[in-house]
Amino acid sequence: MILILFGPPGAGKGTQADLLKEKHNLLHLSTGDILREEVSNNTQLGIEAKKFMDSGELVTDDLIIGMIKNKIESTTNVNGFLFDGFPRTISQAEALDLMLIESNKEIDKVISLEVDDNVLTKRLLSRGRSDDNEITIKNRLDVYKNQTLPIKDFYKNSNKLLEIKGDSSIEEVSSEIEKLL
């Protein structure tokens, strides 16, 4: 099983990812964690990625996809994989699909947590992070809408998208996800 959790900042992706990975024995794939692991292990991909990072540039999609492929191929004893916060662009989604097809795998479902902006703002403000205020939160939500939200149509067109109302309780959202899976 390969799942993607999709939604804006504050939608509850991390919380639901924790519940899903435990219940279904999935490996939670965080691109940030994979990137740090590759760099610290001094792998060829990690060395290449570090060059970008050291110069303040974003690591290329090809490198990220290569790292994800390595992680998927080197992981055993799991029933599947769970992406949270990746892909963020259509090109990343296309590259991920292609890589999975080459590995005889495919994304089973994309779970989109739908939450109203006002609820998201309240949730993010309640986290108490020093850099979160209404202006920065609005900017984060705008970036999400402009750069990441188009992926939703990409997955809707492939009949893999499940939309779930994410402003209910953690338990209710989790129960709804389980019903749809």
For 149-167, write each residue's pLDDT tens digit: 999 999 999 899 999 999 9
Could you give the percent of the chain with pLDDT greater than 90? 74
Most confident of 9-13, 87-91, 174-178: 174-178
Q: Which of 36, 50, 140, 156 is catalytic?
A: 140
**Cβ(16)–Cβ(123) below 8 Å:** no
Query: How many angstroms separate the CA atoms of 68 and 73, rounded?
Result: 9
Q: Which of 36, 50, 69, 88 is catalytic?
A: 88
The pLDDT score that the predictor gives to residue 84 is: 87
The pLDDT score that the predictor gives to residue 5 is: 95
Q: Which of 122, 129, 138, 145 is catalytic?
A: 129
Which CATH code fits 2-173?
Answer: 3.40.50.300
What are the tens digits of pLDDT across the range 12-63? 999 999 999 999 999 999 888 888 899 999 999 999 999 988 888 878 999 9
Q: Which amino acid is at 155?
A: Y
Phi/psi for 5 (5° steps) reads: -95, 125
Q: What is the 3-state secondary structure (H, E, C) of the chain?
A: CEEEEECCCCCCHHHHHHHHHHHHCEEEECHHHHHHHHHHCCCHHHHHHHHHHHCCCCCCHHHHHHHHHHHHHHCCCCCEEEEECCCCCHHHHHHHHHHHHHCCCCCCEEEEEECCHHHHHHHHHHCCCCCCCHHHHHHHHHHHHHHHCHHHHHHHHCCCEEEEECCCCHHHHHHHHHHHC
Q: Active-site residue 88, yes or no?
A: yes
How far does the chain reach from its first CA to its final CA, in angstroms?
10
